[in-house]
């Protein structure tokens, strides 16, 4: 969906003139954009462009110096933490699992904090979320140091989904994964987006992810943002966009995306 045919009722998150700076260093200079309900939005940009800062700003984990973020038309700064937990789920880059808690206990943590469910109900929901991300029940009693990188990402995703959020924020979800596991994670995100109707916003430098599963891509350049469908972005003559998307890796990702689409269509 492009901004031309975007309706007000389609918008789940809006950033209004967001400014982020650290001392004299300006990271974002008056960024404004809308995110559509049910889409998968990728965020790309060079080192130091503020991708993770923007993600944390949208998730209410970082207060901008100026501007505001609205969720369903409401300033995120006015939304109580217990309500925010049921609106937004976050998967951090390294998973951020608590090493002293089992997998099951990690997933149950938001349920303990923000709901009045009893222990059995929390356990059942944790196991359901674990199955939802493709993990078997034997994993429930393991601890984070017993998990591979791919398994830890899936467990952290299950925890992010514990409260059935409307928006799922992912910070470099395929970082550190081998190509097979990265592809599997992309497919998982697509399946969750489709089956749960959850809006997905992800920071990623993975070109395969951007080309394959994202409805739109937001590029952070020159302290501002360019957001559009990938075919439209590829027509932009901005130097960073040209170098990033049209280089050898970009061309390889484009071929992989076409092959993926053909496979999804059964052709």
**CA distance readout (Å), 106 to 59, 118, 161, 168:** 20, 16, 12, 17
* pLDDT tens profile 144-169: 999 998 899 999 999 999 999 999 99
Answer CATH for 10-97+167-243+254-265 from 3.40.50.300, 3.90.950.20, 2.10.109.10, 1.10.760.10: 3.40.50.300
**Residue 190 per-residue DSSP state:** H
Q: Where are the alpha helices (DSSP H) in 115-206?
A: 119-132, 149-160, 179-196
Gap between the Cα atoms of 93 and 204, Å rounded: 10
Which percentage of the chain shows pLDDT scores above 90? 60
CA gyration radius for the chain?
19
Token pair 């969720």 is found at 71
Query: What does pTM read for this prediction?
Result: 0.88
17 or 96, which is more confident? 17
Q: Residue range 205-226: average pLDDT?
A: 92
Q: If residue 103 lies in a helix (H) or strand (E), which one and from where to where?
A: helix 103-114
The model's pLDDT over 1-10, given as tens digits with 9 standing for 90+, comes to: 444 566 777 8
Cα–Cα dist 14/9, whole Å: 12
Ranges of each domain in the chain: 10-97+167-243+254-265
Cα–Cα dist 173/205, whole Å: 10
**pLDDT the model gives residue 134:** 92
Over residues 71-93, the pLDDT tens digits come to 999 999 888 877 888 899 999 87
Residue 235 has pLDDT above 60, yes or no: yes
The tally of CA atoms less than 13 A away on the side-chain side of residue 59 is 25
pLDDT category at 262 given cuts 50, 70, 90 is: low
103 is written with which tokens?
């997998």
């Amino acid at each position: 969906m492009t901004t031309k045919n975007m309706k007000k009722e389609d918008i789940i998150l809006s950033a209004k003139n967001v400014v982020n700076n650290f001392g004299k260093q300006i990271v974002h200079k008056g960024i404004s954009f809308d995110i559509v309900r049910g889409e998968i939005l990728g965020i790309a940009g060079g080192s130091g462009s503020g991708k993770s800062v923007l993600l944390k700003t949208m998730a209410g984990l970082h207060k901008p110096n100026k501007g505001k973020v609205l969720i369903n038309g409401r300033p995120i700064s006015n939304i109580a933490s217990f309500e925010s937990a049921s609106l937004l789920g976050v998967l951090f880059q390294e998973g951020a699992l608590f090493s002293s808690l089992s997998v099951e206990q990690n997933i149950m943590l938001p349920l303990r904090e923000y709901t009045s469910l009893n222990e059995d109900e929390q356990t059942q929901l944790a196991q359901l979320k674990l199955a939802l991300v493709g993990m078997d029940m034997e994993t429930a009693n393991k601890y984070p140091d017993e998990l591979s990188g791919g398994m830890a990402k899936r467990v952290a995703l299950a925890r992010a989904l514990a409260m059935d959020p409307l928006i799922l924020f992912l910070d470099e979800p395929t970082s550190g994964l081998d190509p097979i596991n990265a592809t599997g994670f992309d497919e998982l995100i697509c399946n969750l987006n489709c089956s749960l109707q959850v809006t997905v916003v992800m920071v990623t430098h993975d070109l395969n992810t951007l080309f394959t599963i994202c409805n739109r891509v937001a590029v952070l350049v020159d302290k501002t943002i360019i957001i559009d469908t990938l075919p439209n972005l590829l027509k932009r003559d901005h130097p960073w966009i040209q170098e990033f998307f049209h280089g050898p890796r970009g061309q390889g990702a484009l071929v992989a995306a076409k092959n993926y689409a053909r496979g999804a269509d059964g052709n």
